[in-house]
Amino acid sequence: MRTDAVTRNAFAMPLTSPSFPKGPYRFHNREFFTITYRTDPEELRKVVPEPLEVTEPIVKYEFIRMPDSTGFGSYSESGQVIPVTFQGREGGYVHAMFLNDDSPIAGGREIWGFPKKLAEPKLTVEKDTLVGSLHVGSVQVAGATMGYKHRELDRDAVLKSLAAPSWLLKIIPHADCSGPRICELVEYSLEDVTVKGAWEGPGALELHEHALAPVAQLPVLEVLSATHVLTDLTLGLGHVVFDYLQTE
């Protein structure tokens, strides 16, 4: 293959059989179970990179079920999003994500810089309880419960919250491991969102220590809310808002 053909055909790895197709990526019946909790502010400041700013010691722990997504198929996800501000705008910093499907792991990391790692999250309904769990191998790392559809939420308010921007730290190393070749703050938003249902109820969350999935580094001091949202949406592509290597 000639060099011009390489650059013309290159999209993602591997060259001749990329792990994921080009976007946009549309999700149908994407289901969010989110526990918002108060945590240790000092631990929070250790993991949120400048120029993002932490305003409150709050974390959103998410379990997400995606049964129908363009190019990525059917999979589940779990992780932590930290409410932050960037240049005065409110949004979320995606701190940790664990999922059970190769193509969105590869695509999320290579395109946007999502901090995705392989694990086994689940979101199910057990009688009158919404249940989220995250296992890394045989070890349970997170577990959450919520009373199933106890009270309806205002869909317009939920839609507004889903429209807020999110930020990611995209890191690609040099081939010789001498440091990052790319180190960027990437912004993205959810687009064309339809809220098909939204509820709240009593919730509980527990996090367990794990050497390679340190979600318990941000401990649960107080559960503030539990919500369950069903949507259709498009995962918007990202753009770079800060280049760490250009500041050196």
Which residues form the catalytic set?
Answer: 116
Distance CA 78, CA 95 (A): 11
**Sign of the C-alpha dihedral computed for residues 186, 211, 74 and 220 taken in this order:** negative
Please answer whether residues 130 and 32 qualify as being in contact, where contact means their C-beta atoms are separated by less than 8 angstroms.
no
* Beta strands 89-99; 73-86: pairing state: antiparallel
- Round to the nearest angstrom and report the end-to-end CA distance of the chain: 37
The token pair at 226 is 């539990």
For the record, the structure tokens of 20 come out as: 């994921």
Half-sphere exposure of 6 (CA within 13 A, CB side): 5
